[in-house]
Structure 1
Amino acid sequence: MPDFPILPNPTDPRLTRAITGTDHTGAQTVISVVEERPLTIYLNAQEIVTAMTIGDYPEYLALGFLRNQGMLRPDDVVTGVDYDDEIETVVVRTQRQTSYEDKVKKKTRTSGCAVGTVFGDMMEGLEGLTLPATPVRSSWLYALAHKINTTPSLYLEAGAIHGTTLCQGDTPLVYMEDVGRHNAVDKISGFMFQHGIPAADKILYTTGRLTSEMVIKTALMGIPVLASRSGFTAWGVEIARQVGLTLIGRMRGQRFICLSGEDRLIRDADPNAQPDEGRKHGRKGAGDD
């Protein structure tokens, strides 16, 4: 079992680049800019997708993407995950023979930065899905928001990036970042798949919008609670209600809104005792679009 927590490494020189420009006054300035590079994912001998990513944890990203697309089954035996940095490729190998030519042809572009990709039968797997009735306390939500938003991260270093955190109670366990919120979630899914991490007692916290794909991925991972600083899409809310996912958004200071799964929520903290960020305070930008 890995040691927790697993946190971003904003000092990793591979993930940002110093670029010189001029500011609003015309003065020369140097800022850190997030790297973006392609990663091609293979399942056995078949090329599946090329994703744009910051380049960390490529093995987890590949496993999580394939798992969330239904191409890796829960009982699949993975015999190898090979990453080649020179050609920016990950090959995931399984005992089971796989062939997904038809599924790869049926792709749907989804909302969100870095263009998330879902295949045509993306609702497959949700029918009959029942998520555990694990309670979530408002005191946990307030504590998590404070811990996550003050953790050193690539966002605080360079911006233009999304973060997603796997949590248990009021404790962050695994914090992943990427140029697309979908990639960050897939990294966490791959981590859980690789290490056999149970989902029933977990919370997924994200800085990005609560879209249909975010809800679907969270539900298929078996996580009963999805929370965000950002807002909702109507289809995301509709799917969350369909599968019984607790969906909490606009978490800022004292405030949050629950649009699905209210029955899991235990309000055990006084909102007035929490610091109020205000509309122009705190982490904003990449995670708010």
Structure 2
Amino acid sequence: MNDLSEYIIAPDLSRVRLTRRVVGVDQTGSEVAQDVIEERPLTIYLNSQEIVTAMTIGDYPEYLALGFLRNQGMLEGAGAVTQIDYDAELEIVVVRTSAPTNHEEKLKKKTRTSGCAVGTVFGDMMEGLDGVVLPKAQLRTSWLYALAHKINTTPSLYLNAGAIHGTVLCKEDQPLVYMEDVGRHNAVDKIAGWMVQEQASAGDKILYTTGRLTSEMVIKCAHMGIPVLVSRSGFTAWGVELAEQVGLTLIGRLRGKRFQCLAGADRIIWDADLAQIKDEPKKSGRKGAA
């Protein structure tokens, strides 16, 4: 396994146009120009089978396709991924494997999820979760506060145009890989695809997201083998229940000095001096749904 310490920030501005300048008017009728997020379809194929069309900002299509298929369990029994082909003109990406996969059985059942833009899970959401027990990784509160500050002040599409979710793969107090997209599940899948491609270890990592901590977000994190999931946003009851089931440390509403831990509190090391932690400025950093 590789354990990379390189900080990789996305999106990749060199490959696609990710924002567009739009001119309109404000509440006074005065002209105003605004950078808005581009949104385009990406159709994912597994070998010769069309799987899904996702709405995405368009960066890192290979990571998104690979991570999506991995998190859907469609690469099980498929052998090695031999090739990933992306056609920007046709807006398709094809993931090729050395052996047949179980995707046909998966496609028979679809579940609408609480994901942005109506997420979809193929097959049984709980499949493969029985018996999953994540590593009992300790989490220092000093890491949480350091990560929140670094992530909220890092240049990003959100700070430029808003209307977008971010997901960051971290180790201790260091962000490693930063992905953004219009849907939080797309951003997580890009992280998953990167981890598969780079053979990155998972047991010592933290996954940070701006999205809600729902059941499918916990399931994705569990399937990726990451023991800590952190968000600026809130929880759902099923998300908390599943986190407890698999041994996931679940942190939500991380803003300034505040956070809530609804699963895995016994693995937290309370080493931060709150008197030294600054409150988050109201007009800076990311916003998340409460």
Same fold (TM over 0.5): yes
Q: Helix, strand or coil: the match of 1:125?
A: coil
Q: Which residue of 2 aligns with 1:252?
A: 255
Q: Which residue of 2 aligns with 1:225?
A: 228
Task: Find the partner of 2:208 among 205, 210, 218.
Answer: 205
TM-superposed deviation, 1:103 = 1.5
Q: Which residue of 2 aligns with 1:31?
A: 34
Q: Which residue of 2 aligns with 1:169?
A: 172
Deviates more, 1:246-255 or 1:7-16: 7-16
CA distance in 2 between counterparts of 1:181 and 1:237 reads 18
Contact 2:211/2:289, CA 8 A, preserved across alignment: yes
Map Cα deviations across residues 73-98 of structure 1 (whole Å, 9 max, x no partner): 38831110000111111100011112
Task: Find the partner of 1:6 among 1, 5, 8.
Answer: 8
Contact 1:254/1:272, CA 8 A, preserved across alignment: no
CA distance in 2 between counterparts of 1:191 and 1:123 reads 23
CA distance in 1 between counterparts of 2:109 and 2:124 reads 8
Q: Helix, strand or coil: the match of 1:101?
A: helix
Deviates more, 1:143-152 or 1:263-272: 263-272
Q: Which residue of 1 aligns with 2:289?
A: 288
Percent identical among aligned pairs is 69
Aligned alpha-carbon RMSD (Å) = 1.7
Deviates more, 1:259-268 or 1:164-173: 259-268
* 1:264-279 correspondence to structure 2 within 5 Å: 264-277=267-280
Contact 1:203/1:226, CA 8 A, preserved across alignment: yes
Q: Helix, strand or coil: the match of 1:216?
A: helix
Task: Find the partner of 1:117 among 117, 120, 124.
Answer: 120
Aligned residues: 287
CA distance in 2 between counterparts of 1:194 and 1:262 reads 32
Contact 1:46/1:99, CA 8 A, preserved across alignment: no
Structure 1 residues 128 and 81: CA distance shift in structure 2, 3 A: same
Deviates more, 1:99-108 or 1:250-259: 99-108
Map Cα deviations across residues 77-123 of structure 1 (whole Å, 9 max, x no partner): 11100001111111000111124223113111111322221124011
TM-superposed deviation, 1:281 = 4.3
CA distance in 1 between counterparts of 2:127 and 2:266 reads 26
Contact 1:10/1:153, CA 8 A, preserved across alignment: no
Q: Helix, strand or coil: the match of 1:192?
A: helix
Q: Which residue of 1 aligns with 2:90?
A: 87
Q: Does 1:238 align with 2:241?
A: yes
CA distance in 2 between counterparts of 1:31 and 1:212 reads 35
Q: Which runs of 5+ in 2 are unaligned?
A: none
Q: Which residue of 2 aligns with 1:67?
A: 70
Q: Which residue of 2 aligns with 1:137?
A: 140
Task: Find the partner of 2:130 among 122, 127, 130.
Answer: 127
User: Following TM superposition, where does structure 1 have runs of at least 4 consecutive aligned residues deviating by more than 4 angstroms?
Assistant: 9-13
